Chains A and B, each alone.
Chain A
Amino acid sequence: MDMQVSELGGNVTCVRLTGRLDAPGADTIDTRFTVAVVAQGRNAVIDLSGVTFVASMGIRLLIASARGLRQKGATLVLFGAQELVYTALDQAALDQIIPIVATEQQAIERLAA
């Protein structure tokens, strides 16, 4: 599991994930991801297009981050999920807690809405 952090316009953090977001993958990025996404307390978008698989511990990381951001008055949006990953997120009704959109542009628009 790899992650790259960048800044988008409008004070938005963007984290691009690559690899398997399963238990070992989530463990690999756990602290770095939380620091990058939650500690800043700013709106964030997560690019899942490079994620090939997501399991429960990966979903846990996303939920914990969304909850942490919400407590700071900020929002997390996911975008670019491949079909297998989207299905796993959908099974857990994650869309009720974290907006899931198709593209980066839609994610930014969702934050602006």
Chain B
Amino acid sequence: MNAQHSTPPLSRQDMEAILAVTRALAAPFDLRTMLAEVTAAACRVLHAERSSVWLHDTGSDEMVLEVASDIRQVRLAVGSGLVGACAHERQLINVPDCYADPRFDASVDQRSGFHTRCSLTLPLVDHRGGFVGVMQVLNKANGVFDANDETLAQALAAQCAVALARVRMTEALIEGEKMRQELELARVVQMSTLPAQLPALAGYDMHATFLPAALTGGDTYDLALIEQGLLVVLGDATGHGIAPALSVTQMHAMLRMAFRLGADLETAFRQVNDQLAQTLPSGRFVTAFIGLLDAAAHRLRFVSGGQGPILHFRAARGECVPYKATSFPMGAMPLSSLRPAVEVDLAPGDILVLLTDGIYEYEDPDGSQFGVQRVEQVLRAHHRESTAALASHLLQAVQAFARGAPQDDDVTMVLVKRMVAG
């Protein structure tokens, strides 16, 4: 029989029993412990031999038995058996003689050896009215479940649904915290690949800034004195977060290795590009500027995979010469040919300005982008200052332009300035 009649009020004794359950359910924070409390309380309050809680798996639309004293990991399709029928109808089902009810599935009894005589099965509905599961109690001692039991069971089910929501919320918070800790670890690993200290190079002043939009970023940079000269790298993997951080860190490590093995600029670029084309997932690639500065000749040679514009601020003229990428983004596909490296002579006071699109494409609240011209204005106004001060001015200009608009992309700057003698 399905419950349609009015429910009798709880007696003082029943109320105390439910309150005791409420207190008991306030303590546990893990699902299994909480459900064990519920099923134990259901047996105690309703004088039942056995109880179980079935949770609704929204993915498969099945009912999953999470806790019972001797049966685990049972799944039922919604609509199958009394539990499935309750899930389907979302109504309390009180059956005094289960084997006489066509909805009863005797196979569970056959597997467990238990004999179900009578049952009370009722839906668990959370505080937002969502269906979350089914509670079932079996075999009332000395009889069958009556209207009073139905009232008690409904009060218990309401407590169970609230406790379930709380436990799931707690689990989500814990999962979120674990994720945050893992991201923090990834951030530490990524930051460890950046230069701990910038190299000292006579006659040059250099500065780098890395401000990821998330805990981990898709940008990277390198400034290192190697056998071939001063290595200058700025990389930007599409997107930000863990996946691009891995891509860009992979590119960074490959480049360092290629140069350590004595590769020249073009060879390193080609090898790393082709390696990335093989290993990066589809749709991922890295824009990268890779340059080598001969500090004695003040000559920079560079190749760029999709990274642009590259700005050469010429102090004598107070203007920027923009360069575009020499090749497509690294890892997009293997290289069949490579344009020659670009050579730039740095005069006293000249600055190589490498900025990721997190600056050029920083949007104000109206959707306008910071763009190249605003970068040039800052360079013209502050090029005589140190590269650290210049970077600070650039950031201030971006922040003033943004008028509080949030940072959506990683912001990375590498500035290399040939100092004016004396």
Contacts and interface: CB of A to CB of B under 8 A. Distances in A.
A64 interface: yes
A55 B361 contact: yes
Contacts of A94: 306, 328
Given A64-B283, A92-B308, A56 B238 contact: yes
B326 to A, nearest CB: 6
Instruction: Give the interface residue-count category, chain B.
Output: 20 to 34
Interface string B320-333: 00001111110011
Contacts of B307: 92
A1 interface: no
A26 to B, nearest CB: 10
A92 B333 contact: no
A1 to B, nearest CB: 13
Given A92-B306, A93-B306, A93-B324, A63 B329 contact: yes
A8 interface: no
A93 B304 CA distance: 9
Given A56-B238, A57-B238, A92-B308, A67 B326 contact: no
Contacts of A60: 238, 283, 285
B184 interface: no
Interface string A84-113: 000000111110110000000000000000
Given A57-B238, A91-B309, A97-B332, A64 B282 contact: yes
Interface residues of A, number: 19
A96 B334 CA distance: 11
Interface in A13-59: 22-23, 55-57, 59
Interface string B278-304: 000011010100000000000000001
B89 interface: no
B345 interface: no
Contacts of A96: 327-328, 339
A97 B333 contact: yes
B308 A70 contact: no
B282 A68 contact: yes
A21 to B, nearest CB: 12
A56 B325 contact: no
B408 interface: yes
B392 to A, nearest CB: 25
> Which of B283, B308, B326 lies at the interface centre, i.e. has the most chain A CB atoms within 10 A of its CB?
B283
Return the 9 tightest CB-CB contacts between A and B, nearest first: A91-B308, A93-B325, A97-B328, A64-B283, A92-B306, A60-B238, A91-B324, A56-B357, A96-B328
24 contacts: A55-B361, A56-B238, A56-B357, A56-B361, A57-B238, A57-B239, A59-B306, A60-B285, A63-B285, A64-B282, A67-B282, A67-B283, A67-B333, A70-B333, A91-B309, A92-B287, A92-B307, A92-B324, A93-B304, A93-B324, A93-B325, A93-B326, A94-B306, A96-B327
Given A55-B357, A90-B324, A96-B339, 13 more contacts: A23-B408, A55-B361, A55-B369, A56-B357, A57-B238, A57-B239, A64-B282, A91-B308, A91-B309, A92-B308, A92-B328, A93-B304, A94-B306
